[in-house]
Structures are given as structure tokens and as C-alpha cells.
Amino acid sequence: MTISNPTAPSPSGLASANGHAKVQELESVTIRFCGDSGDGMQLAGTQFTNASAILGNDISTLPDFPAEIRAPAGTLAGVSGFQLHFSSHAIHTPGDTLNTLVAMNPAALKTNLKDLEPGGILIVNSDSFGTSDLQKAGYTSNPLDSEAMKNYRLIKVPINKLNREAVAECKLSPREADRCKNFFALGLVFWMYERPMEPTLKWIREKFAKNPAVLEANTRALKAGYNYGETMELLPVHYRVPKAKIPPGTYRKITGNEALAIGLVTATQLAKKELIYASYPITPATPILETLADLKRYGVKTLQAEDEIAAMGMAIGAAFGGAIGVTATSGPGVCLKSEAIGLAVMTELPCVIIDVQRGGPSTGLPTKTEQADLLQAMFGRNGECPVPIVAPRSPADCFHMVFEAVRIATRFMTPIFLLSDGYIANGAEPWSIPSLDSLPRIAIQHPTTPNSWANEPQHENGAGEPGKFLPYKRDEWLVRPWAVPGTPGLEHRIGGLEKQDVTGNVNYEPGNHEHMVRTRAKKIQNIAETIPDLKVHGPASGDLLVLGWGGTYGAILTAVERAQRKGWSVAHAHLQYLNPMPKNTEAVLRSYKQVLIPELNAGQLLWLIRAKYCVPAVGLNKIQGRPFLVSEIEAKIEAILTGAPDVEITTTPVVSDGPSQG
Amino acid sequence: MSATTLPTLTVKDLTTDQDVRWCPGCGDYSILAQMKKALASLGVPREKIVFVSGIGCSSRFPYYMNTYGFHTIHGRAPTIATGLKMAQPDLQVWVVTGDGDGLSIGGNHLLHVIRRNVDVKILLFNNEIYGLTKGQYSPTSRLGTRTKSSPQGSIDNPIRPLSVAIAAEATFVARTIDVDVNHMVTVLQRAAAHKGTAFVEIYQNCKIFNDGVFDYVTDKSIKSDNLLYLEHGKPLVYGKDRNKGIRLNGLDPEAVELGNGIAVDDLLHHNESAKEPSLAYLLSRMVHPEFPECVGVFRAVRKPTYEELVQEQIVKAIKAKGPGKIEDLFRSEDQWTVE
């Protein structure tokens, strides 16, 4: 163990003496675990997150892993990372720069060091810096000996050796023993940041209940790491991040995908409807299928379809049968589902299509985040084919917005898109567990009797007779009845051919077609009457509005708050409803001299806003498969308000002399 | 109607107010008529019956049946039927498809609905041509078929619908012919009674674009020598004089004449409930003119349906841990309380 350059600046955050000479209190910390795909970094990061959440910190996470399950060990392509921001105050992003980096091998060091702040703590597994390890990462000399290390507080720990010693008595194979080293590293950082070990020990006990040797080994590795930190006094201080002052309540940690699954079950159960979820496995949406497949005792039916099209067809069939039909996918899957989504529009059946967006086009960047499917969701079908769109803004918000998706779909008899993204899906934050009483009950009614009467005025198409069921006779919102097969007397036929309004009979007349196209569009617009106004965070009018949607919420909010603290006249609004948009959207846009729209795409909401409202908004666009840094948005806000030259987000290669990470 | 009798439907009850728009002379008219007859005999109420179709001439079928109906998109009817059966396992769901819809654009879904043994009845109207797009060759068109898209003759090897269904281990497989009306009614009744995926191929004449392609099994003067009616437990005998049969020569079928040392007992006996689908597959490969083509029930075995297995897992899960409570779901991770 060596600590170099102990005189480097201390980690950022507010240090305060608290009576204990060896403990330093920090307001917030950003830490990243990185190593080979097989090193268990996602697990270490998740466990550290759980411990921090249970301790009462606010948390925000950014898992970042390669598309390859096991790229060749030790290579740059195989590096997997997990970033956590934990804090004693409310936070909204996983952090811009790292205070601490744990790197399990040279490849991890090479791809992640650029994000570590000057003076930051760098923990490396010095046992994995042998000649061949260095070669695989493309190093010609050991970077730990380089001058650059003087910028950091480098802690070299022979983790392989120490871990093997710790688990020696457990009689594991060398390979099995080495698999515990992530827990050794975790134990070490638990000590550094005064995290409780018990939640992880409990997890180990449950996970390895059937394998006592592995249970014991992981327990020992974790404790050994912790004790090593304490005994060796790895740093002159260790750190404490006090509880966050967050609203009272009972909390748990939740990822976006978990919140979608739980939200779907809750919304459908409270609506007394069956949830039928059909999906084809696709990154990053698969965990929703896996979660729901294990919830059979909640009456959930899951179908792993043969392809994306089938999944959409099954959701539509389920909806025809009176259940809540849901499918989830990512961008490439939406392409395949498009024709069937059009069928749901034409037949006016309610179903929810979740698109967990990833980098595109084509297969693109399967494990990286992007917001580039907005226009696909908006327009990506043949014909005039309007589909409503909602978009959660954070992992926990997925719970609320999927409720909204179910409500809108069933109230307006329409398929609906919920646009999540890889960042929200895999990222976690605390979720205030709601009481069931506080949640909405979505009221769904199916007709049981015919809806055509002798004493009512003849409808405009003249068809239909008293006592008959008219499948396209609409209510005050232009919504048709949801009559379910099995109901006597309501037998009817629907399909993808153009319908005569009211009767639903196949009809090719020019006037009827235009009427139906406009009716379907008006029906979707009517949704705006039932959604909340766009809220503004900041002054109700002023110099600049920063408008966002989806998973950029936290970064935009933090950047705007910083600009506000500097005295700038800037406000933030975030669209959770993208089609239709809230009724006050135009009024909000026109209350500011300028509008900035940051997006993780080439400017899709920007395109919509300009086209719809003729507002000269400008974009801040990042298309790197990674979320915004707060500083990037902050810089753009300042550039706009000071009239400085335009700020562009530059792409810095991950490494200068090797392929960039997966 | 007394309280104890099943509601009976008439053919008229099953007829909608929509004009039927198939071409005059189309085989689909006969199928529609036999379907109504078959359903009228079953005692299943109209509201419990759903027709789901894809795209093509055959797929207009639901508009003409006064039951619930869903005319979906090209090739995807099996997926929609599967979703519907998940929501309402008690419905009697018919999927109406054609050789293009079911075996070309929708081939994948056909395989998967069958292998899952979803309790749906699939009728594949095989006319060996694309009719609605006005006469291009289909996946079942014979080699050399000259159409507008194959002016020099089709070079795509045709697939046999029943071979595909049997390869996917369909639990009920049958074939009938549009003009063989009594036979068709029987086959449709058997399909309706089957629990699990029933796959029925119907040879259907396209008057406009492929007229006469099945003459060898419909022309009264020759059909007896080209057609073999399968009967469970009976030997495979055919021919105008009932003097021909099918026997096995090693692993291959062989068409033989009875007599000259060949007795009925030497012939293959049909066993529709055989556990292994090998013989049914072999029968599905018999093609004119080398062989007579079989009609009737090739295979009928009972296996758990997809709906039954889905329900069984739910029941088991509830039995093991009790019905799910939302509060437990919320608390499926460690929690902490802020005061």
C-alpha cells in the first residue's frame, strides 16, 4: 500500500471538523467503480448505493456497461463502470466529475481516469498491473509510475493477494476466490465513507444461502477490505456524508425499469384489470419483462414473444380482450412494431408501448442512453397516425408516468408511447413509497348493452339501427366504447381498413376518410384537457427558459438552479407530456426572451417546438451515449445570457491511442 | 327454447349485413357456408366466438361472420389471437389465413402459435397464389408456376403447410377441400372440439388467378385415384375401385395396388393419436402425381394448452406465497424512513 502525493487538494465538498480528528464531513461525493465486465463492478456499485440509501443520503446512479457480455478480459472494450452520487442534500444527477475512482485493472484506469477530479482519490488493484495486463490495455509502461499520478491521491492496494488470503480457509478454487475481490474493494470503500456493512452482509446471506463456502468467502472478503482500510489507515482521514434533508416518508431505492414494472402492476390492480405484458428481450428494456415474469402471484401474465411484432400484436389482442396490453422495447423494436401500432390507432384499442431509448440508428449503442426516438414515436407510422406520448423525467417518476400512460390509453382508447431511456432505466434514486390510498383508481367501463336507440336522432352516416351495437359511436371526448368479446349482443368486427364513423363498417368514401383522420387527431388533442399545466421552476417570465423532456431533468434542473443562484433570469420547464403538450406550453414559451432546449439527440423536441409554436428556440445537443454534465448546460446558459460565442459540447476521445469503449 | 337446451344458432344468425365481396366462383364462398353450418351445430353462443384474420382474400372472412371479429395486419393474426386468448381463455378463437399471409409474411408467428399450443383454430386457405395483389406466385405455388411475377416459372421450392405445422408439433392437423362440403363440415367440427392449436389446410380454388390448380382432387372423373380419405385406425386405401393403398418401404411411403401378394394388412394404418408426429409428417409429404394426397385428420393429440400452463403457473405462485399485495411489491427492496 502506498499513498502518493498526500499534499494534493482535498476532495470537493464542504469539510467540517466534527470533533473526531480522523473523520471529515462532506456534503456530497461522486464515486465510480470500474473494472472488467467479469469483475462484479455493477454489483459493488449497487451494494454501495443500497448502503448509502439506507444511511439516508440522497442518491443518483449511472451504471455504464459494454454491450458485450464478456469482451476479452482486461481489454478496453470490456470495461464496466458504476457511478454513484450520494449527498446530504437533494441531488438530481449522478455527478459530473469523480471524487473517487476505484479501478480494478489498467483498462479501467485508462478509460475512466479522465473523469477523476484533480486531487481525487484513485484506488487501484495493483495486482492487476502486470506486463500482460498493461499490454491488453495498450499501455507501454506502467501508468501508476507516471508523472500524471501526481495529480491524484493514488492508493495502490494488492487486492488479489489480500483477497486470496482473506478467503483462504473457505476452500474455493482460485477462480472462485478471485470472484470475491469486488467485495474486498467494496469493504475498503465502505470504510472510507463510513458505510454500514450490514445491508450487504444480509444480501450475501440471502444470495448465497445454498452455497455456504461462497457465502463465507464473500463475507470474509467484505470484512477484510473494511478492516484493511481501518488497520492500515489508508488515508489520514475517512469521510462522512450525513443524512440528506429529504421530505419525511419511507423510502426505497428504485430504478426506472423497476418503477415501470411496479407502476404497471399497481395501476392495473387498482383499476381491477388484468395486466398482459408481451415483450421480446432487448437492451435496455429487458429487466421490465424479467421483473414482471416473476410477479405471477399478482396475476400478471407475461409473454416472451417470438419477435417485436408479435409482442405488439399480443398487446393489441389482449386489449381487444379487455385486458391492459403492454409491450416494452427500445428503438429498433419500435421500428418493427410500427405497423401494428397503426392498427391499434385504427381500431382504437388501448395499449401501452414503452420505449427505453438507446443510442441509434440501427443497432447503434445498445447499452448507452439517447433521446433520439421522439420523432419516431411522434411520426414513425404510415398515414396520419397520431399516438400520444408521455415521458418520465427520472427513475422514480416512471411510476407516476406509467400510471398516466394506462389512464390515457384506457380513457381515450388509444395506444400510447412512454419514452424512457437507458439512463433512467438503469439509474436509481430514492423513491418515497406511496400509500395505496393516495394513488388514483383508473375507472374503466365496458359496455354491456347496445348503444343505438330508436328515439335518438339518426347519426350522420345513416347506418345503424335501434338495438344495434355501434362500435365507433363516440362519447364527448370522441372516444369509442370498449366492448369486449364474450359480451352478448355486442358482436362487432374491427380491423385495419378505414371505418365508417359510428358503425365501424369498412368504408372508402372520401368524405368519411377525411372525417375519420380528423376525428382521430382531435381525439388525441382532447387528451390535453386532462393533463396538468406545464410548471415552471423559476421566474414566470424572464430572459431564458430552459425546456427539457425525459431523463435530462436532473442535469437541467441543477444547471438552472446554479445559474439562478448567480442571479441570472432563467427558468426551467420539463415536458412530461409530449403529445399532446400541455395547453399552456405556448404561453410559457412566449414568457421568456429566449428558449434553450437541451437534448441527447440532434434536436428533436427543438424541431417540434419550432414547428408547432414558431418560437425561435435554440438547442444544446449531445449525442455521445452519455447523459449531460451539469457543467455543459450551465456553460450554454451563461453563453446565451452573456451573448458569448456559441458553446459546443466537444467529443473527447475516451483514449487517444486505442479503440473507445463499447 | 327450454332452459336445459343449448342456445342454437342458425346460419342466418351468423350472417352479417355486409356484402360478401369475393369474386364469383371463389372457393371462399363454400368455406364461409360450411363454417356457418359447422358453428350452428356446435352450441357455442355467438358472443363467445371470435374470428381473427390477417391480410389477403381469405382474411376478409371476419366481416362476414356475425360473431366478434378482428381483421388485423398482414401475417400477424396469430399474435393478436394469442393476446386475446391470454385475456379471455374461454373464447373460441378462429384464425383465418392464407398461404401468403400464414406462410410468407407471417411464417414466424405461425410456427410459434403452434409450438405454444395456444387454443386457437387456424384455417389456412391454400390457393397457391396471391389473389388480392392480383396473381403473383405464393410460397405454396408449385415449381414452374407462371405468374405475373414469375413469367418464366417459379423457381422457389414450395412448402407444404401441413409439413410446417407438424414440424412445429401441432396437436391437431387436418386437411380438407373447398368443394368437399360435407367433409369440410366434419373437419371444422373436429377442429372446434380440439383443445389446443388446431391447424386446418383447406385447398381453395382461386377462380381468377389459379383456376383448376386442384382439379386432380376435385374433378369427379379423376379424383378418386388422387385422393385418400384418412380414417383413424383404418388402412390407407384409395382409388375408384378401392384397390390401391400406401405401405411403408423402409422409411418411405409407397403407393401399391392390392393383390399380387399385397394384402390390406400390409398397408399403413392411420393412427391420428400417435405420440410421435413422424407418420403424420410422412403423410403430409405425399404429393400428386406420385401419391394420392391425404385429406382428413392427420394428427389429434391432447397436450396442455398455453393458456392452461399460464394459469397453472399463476395458481402455483399464489399457492406458494399467497396472492400478491401491492404493499409488498413496494417494499421488495430495503427501506429507510426519514422523519
Quick one: pLDDT band at residue A21, thresholds 50, 70, 90?
very low
Each residue's pLDDT tens digit, A324-371: 999 999 999 999 999 999 999 999 999 999 999 999 999 999 999 999
Q: How far apart are CA B315 and CA A485, in angstroms?
A: 25
Condensed to tens digits (0 to 9), the pLDDT of residues A190-232 reads: 999 999 999 999 999 999 999 999 999 999 999 999 999 988 8
Out of A56, A322, A496, the one facing B71 most closely (by C-beta) is: A496
CATH code, domain carrying B68: 3.40.50.970
Phi and psi angles of residue A61, each rounded to the nearest 5 degrees, phi first: -120, 155
Q: Select the residue of B50, B63, B73 nearest A343 (Cβ to Cβ).
A: B73
What is the model's pLDDT at position B227? Answer: 97
Q: How confident is the model at residue B177 (pLDDT cuts 50, 70, 90)?
A: very high
Count of positions (residues) in chain B: 339
Distance set, CA A376 to CA A173, A289, A559 (Å) = 51, 23, 28
CB pair distance less than 8 Å for A321 and B320: no
Q: What cell does A527 get?
A: 387528451
Question: In this predicted structure, what is the pLDDT of residue A647?
Answer: 66
- pLDDT (mean) for B294-311: 98
DSSP track, B79-93: HHHHHHHHH-TTSEE
Please give the residue range of the domain that contains residue B191. 27-213+304-311
Residue B106, judged by CB atoms within 10 A of its CB (0-12, 13-18, 19+), counts as buried
Confidence at residue B110, expressed as pLDDT on a 0 to 100 scale: 98
Q: What is the pLDDT of residues B25-36, one digit of tens each?
A: 999 999 999 999
Radius of gyration for chain B, computed over Cα atoms and rounded to the nearest angstrom: 23
> Is residue B188 assigned to a domain?
yes
Q: What pLDDT, on the 0 to 100 scale, is given for residue A457?
A: 57
User: A11 falls in which pLDDT band (50, 70, 90)?
Assistant: very low
Residue A403 at interface with chain B, using a CB cutoff of 8 Å: no
Please state, in angstroms and rounded to a whole number, the distance separating the CA atoms of residues A56 and A255. 17
> Does residue B266 lie within any of the structural domains?
no
Q: Which of A491, A492, A494, A503 to mutate to test the interface with B (most CBs of B within 10 A)?
A: A491
CB A486 within 8 A of CB A464: no
Mean pLDDT, to the nearest integer, of A549-575?
97
Query: Does residue A20 contact residue A168 with C-beta atoms inside 8 Å?
Result: no
Q: Within A430-580, where are the H helices?
A: 510-526, 553-565
pLDDT of residue A466: 75
pLDDT score recorded for residue A586: 98
- Length reported for chain A: 662
Q: Is residue B231 part of a domain?
A: no
Predicted local distance difference test score (pLDDT) of residue A644: 82
Tell me which residues of chain B, numbers 284 to 323, contact chain A at a CB-CB cutoff of 8 Å: 310, 313-314, 316-318, 320-323
Burial of A398 (0-12, 13-18, 19+ CB in 10 A): buried
Residue A42 has pLDDT above 90, yes or no: yes
| Residue B47 located in a structural domain | yes
Beta bridge partners of B203: B126, B177
Q: What is the mean pLDDT of residues A280-299?
A: 97
* Res A84 pLDDT > 70: yes
Query: pLDDT, tens digit, for every residue of B73-92?
Result: 999 999 999 999 999 999 99
Delineate the domains of chain A, giving CATH numbers in brackets. 2-240 (3.40.920.10), 252-432 (3.40.50.970), 445-530 (no CATH), 536-642 (3.40.50.920)
User: Does a structural domain hold residue B22?
Assistant: no
Residue A587, number of CB atoms within 10 A of its CB: 12
Give me the mean pLDDT over the B137-151 stretch: 96
Residue range A485-526, pLDDT digits in tens: 999 999 999 999 999 999 999 999 999 999 999 999 999 999
Split into its structural domains, chain B has a count of 1
The label of the residue with cell 381525439 reads A523
Average of per-residue pLDDT values in chain B? 95
Question: How do A536-537 and B120-126 pair as beta strands?
Answer: unpaired
pLDDT value at B304 more than 70: yes
Residue B14, in any domain of the structure:
no
Helix (H, G, I), strand (E, B), or coil: what is residue B110? helix
Residue with cell 473517487: A100
CB A357 within 8 A of CB A373: yes
What is the residue-wise DSSP string for A205-244?
HHHTTT-HHHHHHHHHHHHHHHHHHHHHT-SS-EEE-PPP
Question: Within chain B, what is the greatest distance between any pair of CA atoms?
Answer: 98
Taking Cα atoms as reference points, which of A386, A420, A334, A322 lies closest to residue A523? A386
- Half-sphere exposure of residue A611: CA atoms within 13 angstroms, side-chain side: 7
> pLDDT grade, residue A23 (50/70/90)?
confident
Which residues is A327 bridged to in the sheet?
A: A353
B233 within a domain of the structure (yes/no): no
Beta bridge partners of A619: A597
Return the pLDDT at A238. 86
| pLDDT tens profile A263-284 | 999 999 999 999 999 999 999 9
Residue B291 lies in a domain: no
pLDDT one-digit tens code per residue, B238-277: 999 999 999 999 999 999 999 999 999 999 999 999 999 9
pLDDT classification of B317: cutoffs 50, 70, 90: very high
Distance from the Cα of A384 to chain B's closest Cα (Å) equals 17
Q: Find residue B53's DSSP bridge partners.
A: B71, B96
Taking the Cβ of residue A438 and every Cβ of chain B, the question of whether any pair is shorter than 8 Å is answered with no
Min Cα separation A102/chain B (Å): 25
Assess whether pLDDT exceeds 60 at residue A652: no
Chain B interface test: which of A290, A314, A316 (most B C-beta within 10 Å)? A314
> What part of A 472-501 touches B (C-beta under 8 Å)?
484-497
Point out the residue among B55, B108, B332 whose CB comes nearest to the CB of A306: B108
